[in-house]
Structure 1
């Protein structure tokens, strides 16, 4: 793992994973109707959030040689994300995700990603994306990508090895998905990754997946301390509407969530990560990192879509404006 200051490089953050075409309906899918077309993927959500905050981001992933893949790449380019490390798979399609709103705060999600191009991302492709045009300051991974298949898992492992070789800070968002793998499968991989991780971000129920056999209790602070003892520099626990807590060698710090009218919680965790990494890259201390993270998370919750509501740096102060404020 790297030291306390991320090394300088041509790219601030490299992230890799699957980005899919996203279709959002207005009601039950069985009734038909129109759908909004966009893209979605935890890692690309983070990349877009960071790009809007002024950071140089690179996304390494695989898309099909199809119009859906072109939409993914075109959208990321339009958002200022470097996709020069992305690959096209001639033999597999771009994945698809359908969002089906059922209640004001309940949305069903349907995935069509088995055998997709994103699940076939290779270690060789990651090597090229990591080193050209230069090693990134931060590598951001999630627990989603390794669950997609053996090839994607190998690509993640190679990225971790390269991060160690190039003294790149590693951020891991556990992001457990029970549809993709079991608790046991996830724990085996997450625990093997911990020696490489500098910044671990997880919800409180995901922390046990990361801690090897220990006497630590199931409480978040005990699990976080166990992870710090295993070499992780910062453990950040997302608490949803209750905010977040960061644990470091200096102690723990809590930040409440920013109050907003919630309209869509999808993508809020990714926005939180983007805010935290943005402040880390700026050299801010932990309180300021948490403050920016809960701010960007609030923007996501107050907006529809996975990444569409991500703020620019100039917009970060808007949440401090009173209700009904008109900004000119």
Structure 2
């Protein structure tokens, strides 16, 4: 039987908060939570040959995340992001451009590990540079299940890029603002959440499942045969960094264990809310402590 594991492809970075710095990047966050939930996961990313990069390797080891495919480049810096958290926990990111993970090159080794994986998780930010973008599309071709967390970060996306990624997606996660933007691009900006998501399903028939996260209003799930709504768990928000990534990881982990969609959404909601009540995207926890 083929071993179940997930590959997360994309950015890894230091989130610089006023309380100090924390390891971040959406693919890294998903990878961390999948591992916490018992689904083996690896990250494909890149750091600089600087002190920040060495510190990332130490943090990956502490978090028990496989760094086999975390490569190093000598002429670009390790990524950092200035993070501003508002009074209500809302987050604004200032993402530095032209960093190590913008230049991830493909190789037979990473194409092979993606080909053998149960799923490939990716977002749009990793595709802002042509080098990593080309690698992403090569890996997508090798993947058996393509999970796209839209994760729009201005100004690092375009209509053509996002629509091209949607064309190759099997499972899509997006939030209400991203739904507004994509719906507008497709000329279908009016109507309810349901009608606009249904339009995306018809426009991109390869998308088998769509998860629409709605913050404190929970989330909605759509497939060809099922539509569900899940409430958010009550929580005193500390910051929302990584809460959407935790939701996606929770959903994927239970889905890969062949649990029902309803159960997968429930665990996703619990973990997402827990993370929103903690500082940073990768707090330590035990699943039984939050159920």
If the length of structure 1 is used for normalisation, what is the TM-score? 0.81
Query: Which residue number corresponds to residue 41 of structure 2?
Result: 57
Residues 1:66 and 1:9: Cα distance change in structure 2 (over 3 Å): farther
Query: Which residue number corresponds to residue 326 of structure 1?
Result: none
Structure 2 counterpart of 1:150, from 111, 130, 140: 130
Structure 2 counterpart of 1:129, from 98, 104, 110: 110
Aligned pair 1:263/2:253, yes or no? no
Residues 1:213 and 1:38: Cα distance change in structure 2 (over 3 Å): closer
Residues 1:107 and 1:208: Cα distance change in structure 2 (over 3 Å): closer
Of 138-147 and 232-241, more deviation after overlay is shown by 138-147
- Secondary structure, aligned partner of 2:146: strand
Structure 1 counterpart of 2:119, from 128, 138, 158: 138
> Matches of 2:253 and 2:275 in 1, distance apart?
16
C-alpha contact 2:79 2:100 (8 A) present in aligned 1: yes
Query: Which residue number corresponds to residue 103 of structure 2?
Result: 120
Residues 1:119 and 1:246: Cα distance change in structure 2 (over 3 Å): same
Query: Which residue number corresponds to residue 191 of structure 1?
Result: 163
Of 65-74 and 45-54, more deviation after overlay is shown by 65-74
Query: Which residue number corresponds to residue 14 of structure 2?
Result: 21
C-alpha contact 1:15 1:140 (8 A) present in aligned 2: yes
- Secondary structure, aligned partner of 1:141: strand
C-alpha contact 2:37 2:287 (8 A) present in aligned 1: no
Aligned pair 1:250/2:225, yes or no? yes
Quote how far apart the aligned CAs of 1:268 are: 0.7
Q: How does 1:1-328 map to 2 (within 5 A)?
A: 9-10=2-3, 12-26=5-19, 36-101=20-85, 103=87, 105-111=89-95, 113-122=96-105, 124-125=106-107, 127-132=108-113, 135-147=116-128, 149-163=129-143, 168-181=144-157, 185=158, 187-210=159-182, 213=186, 217-229=190-202, 230-231=204-205, 232-309=207-284, 311=285, 315-320=286-291
Consecutive unaligned residues of structure 2, counting only runs of 5 or more, are none
> Matches of 2:85 and 2:215 in 1, distance apart?
20
Deviation readout 1:188-219 (Å, 9 max, x if unpaired): 12222223211100012212555674668453
- Secondary structure, aligned partner of 2:116: coil
C-alpha contact 2:188 2:196 (8 A) present in aligned 1: no
Quote how far apart the aligned CAs of 1:76 are: 2.0
Q: Mark the structure with the bigger radius of gyration.
A: 1
Quote how far apart the aligned CAs of 1:104 are: 5.5
Deviation readout 1:16-43 (Å, 9 max, x if unpaired): 11111233214xxxxxxxxx23311111
Residues 1:209 and 1:139: Cα distance change in structure 2 (over 3 Å): farther
- RMSD of aligned Cα (Å): 2.2
> Matches of 1:108 and 1:214 in 2, distance apart?
28
Residues 1:188 and 1:9: Cα distance change in structure 2 (over 3 Å): farther
- Secondary structure, aligned partner of 2:290: helix
Residues 1:188 and 1:273: Cα distance change in structure 2 (over 3 Å): same
> Matches of 2:261 and 2:115 in 1, distance apart?
27
- How many equivalent residue pairs? 288
